[in-house]
Structures are given as structure tokens and as C-alpha cells.
Amino acid sequence: MSLAKYHDKVKENDTVILYLGYDNMHAIKIKKGSVFQTRYGALRHNDIIGTTYGSRVHCPKGYLYILYPTPELWTSNLPHRTQILYTTDISVVSFQLDLKPGAVVVESGTGSASLSHSIIRSILPDGHLYTFEFHKERAQKAEEEFKDHGLSDYVTVTHKDVCQFGFDLEDVADAVFLDLPVPWDAIPSAKKALKKQGGRICSFSPCIEQVQKSCACFAELGFEEISTKECLVRNFDVRTINLPNPEFFSRDKTKSQPQKKGSRFDRDDMDAYSEETAENSAQCDIVESSDTKENTTSEVLDTPAWDYIGRKTAANFSFKAGISLGRMPGHTGYLTFATLYPL
């Protein structure tokens, strides 16, 4: 299997994504004779081999979809060796670093290789990624994943502490990404790794104190356009609101009709009607007969019985409104970007 070259049929040793729902996915490696247990029952790998990606596969108690892995799907399902960058931050990094086919990128540290897969996808087919990881076992695991995913030709994995020993690269990179506890120790070496015609650099830091030190180091080394961004997902509660349309009419020409029990009236119109009735009674100063009382009570304003607010009818004005939640988690870290221009 290769994330770089798509094929439409599931083969043995492919890594596939089992999609059971938006928040229920699994990444598995297909092997003949193996069985994977899902919430819908057992899924035999032999039943998957040869099917088309995107197909629905039935289990004893339901069904699921077989999806071809993409960097975004892999980010949601990869084995976590460290904290990872998710799609929201990855999209900002890819845009701000101007990643494109043919670009050369230097990354440290590799971690769980979530960002690495997205970088490789962005720089294919002629680009290359140099990624560094100080933890030996994590570096080996990442190298194995790149090989299984058919990406080993586009990435070089190095086990090295760049904060202490540097990158040992010079004039090769269009962009540099740093995810380090003390990025200011690696920034001088990152500057040497950038091409002489300049480039972009990004530092990911969870704490604002790290950002302050990194910005000071960038400015001291001659970087420009230094900026820090925080990418958060803001959820909105969206609802459809139905409001009654007001009906305007003339009070003088409108004849009243009996009110149906339980109907709702416009309060302003009823107040106006009561005041007018009181004035007429004071001027005439007569005692109403029983017949007059019956006529008076039967004559009320022809006010429409408006629908309750929120009820969807043809007479209501409908629109969608959204309000953000009061408290939302989501802070992952700060992204500090800087540009190095040629001298």
C-alpha cells in the first residue's frame, strides 16, 4: 500500500480505515486468515481483500465502510507515541509554510508522525522531508510506518537531538518546523538549514513563555514577519427560529368576530379596544340592556390567532441562528511563524 499512489482494490498487507461512525474508526493491516472484532461483530480479513475502497461491508450485526487511508484519516487513527498535531493546526502550518510540490522541509521532532504524513502529501512528487527524533525507538517506529505506507522514498528519518547537536544541514530547506521543548536552542541550526534565498520557519509551543523566548531568538537572528497564532475549533449550537409575521390592518374598518376559546390575541389591540369602549361608555352614560351586553361581548376585534413562537407554519418567518458554547476545550499550542529573507 502507498499513500503516495492510490489503488482502488484492497490488497493483503494494506493498511485500511474501518469507518463505523464519525467518532468510531479503526486502522488495521489486512492479513489473510485474520479476524477483527467490531461493535457489529467479527470482520474477517478474507472478506475485505479484493473489495473496492469506499464499499460497504456487512457484519453479523451491522455494516461498516472500508476507506483508503489519507493523512487526515491517519491522524485520527494512528498509534499515539506522543502528543500529536491535529488537522486544524496542520492546515495552518501547511498554509503558512507555503508547502507545495517539490519543496524540501526539515522537521523536528517526528513524534507519532502525524504532521509528517501531511507534509509528505503536500510536497509530492518531487519534494523531500528530513525529520529528526531524539528518541531512538520512536524514530524506528516512524521509519517502519513510512515504509509500510510507501513513503520511504520521500522522507529521511534521523535519530538525533537537534537541540544539542543541530541538524547538520545547510542551504537545503524551503521550510523548517520545530516541535521541541527548547526551540531557541535549535533555531540557529535551523537558520543554516534554510536556503540562501530564504524561507519560512514554524515553532510549535504549548506555553506562552516558550513563545516569548522563541520570538526573541528569531528577532536576534534576523528573522522578520514574526507572528504567533492559535488555532481553535469553535462549536456553535445552530437552531431554526420561527417568528410570527405581523399582520397590519385598520381598526376602523375591521369588524369584530367572536373569539374562539383558547386563542391568543394581540395585547396592544385589546388595550386599545378597552380604552375606546370605556370612553364611549362615559360619554353616553346609559345603562346597557341585556341585549346590548350580548352584542358587546360578541363583538371583538378580528385579531388573528398567531402561532406560538417556534412553531413552523407558512405564516411564520424562519431563520437559522447560532450561539457559541460558553466553555470549550481546545488549546493545543501556539504556532510561531517567521520569515528569513536573503541578504
DSSP of 54-116: T-EEEETTEEEEEE---HHHHHHHS--SS----HHHHHHHHHHTT--TT-EEEEE--TTSHHH
Say if pTM beats, i.e. exceeds, 0.85. no
**How many Cβ atoms sit within 10 Å of the Cβ of residue 264?**
12
Beta bridge partners of 41: 38
Beta bridge partners of 15: 29
Predicted confidence at residue 297, as pLDDT, reads: 44
Predicted confidence at residue 185, as pLDDT, reads: 96
Predicted confidence at residue 1, as pLDDT, reads: 67
Domain segments of the chain: what residues? 15-69, 74-233+330-340, 239-273+285-323
Beta bridge partners of 62: 59
Predicted confidence at residue 328, as pLDDT, reads: 65
Annotation: binding site: 112-115, 133, 179
CATH of domain 74-233+330-340: 3.40.50.150
Predicted confidence at residue 145, as pLDDT, reads: 93
Please give the Cα distance from 115 to 138 (Å, whole number). 14
Amino acid at 337: F
HEC-encoded secondary structure of 147-216: HHCCCHHHEEEEECCHHHHCCCCCCCECEEEECCCCHHHCHHHHHHHECCCCEEEEEEECCHHHHHHHHH
Of the candidates 47, 69, 66, 68, which has an alpha carbon nearest to the alpha carbon of residue 56? Answer: 66
Predicted confidence at residue 176, as pLDDT, reads: 98
Annotation: binding site for S-adenosyl-L-methionine: 112-115, 133, 179
From first to last of its 343 residues, the chain has per-residue pLDDT tens of 678 888 999 999 999 999 998 889 999 999 999 999 999 999 999 999 999 999 999 999 999 999 999 999 999 999 999 989 999 999 999 999 999 999 999 999 999 999 999 999 999 999 999 999 999 999 999 999 999 999 999 999 999 999 999 999 999 999 999 999 999 999 999 999 999 999 999 999 999 999 999 999 999 999 999 999 998 888 888 888 888 877 766 555 544 455 444 444 444 454 544 555 445 544 544 444 444 444 444 444 444 444 444 455 566 788 888 888 777 666 679 999 999 999 7
Predicted confidence at residue 251, as pLDDT, reads: 52
Q: DSSP character for 245?
A: P
Predicted confidence at residue 113, as pLDDT, reads: 94
CATH 3.20.20.140 at 15-69, yes or no: no
Of the candidates 111, 142, 59, 4, which has an alpha carbon nearest to the alpha carbon of residue 333? Answer: 111
Q: In what order do the strands lie in the sheet with 15-21?
A: 24-29, 15-21, 62-67, 56-59
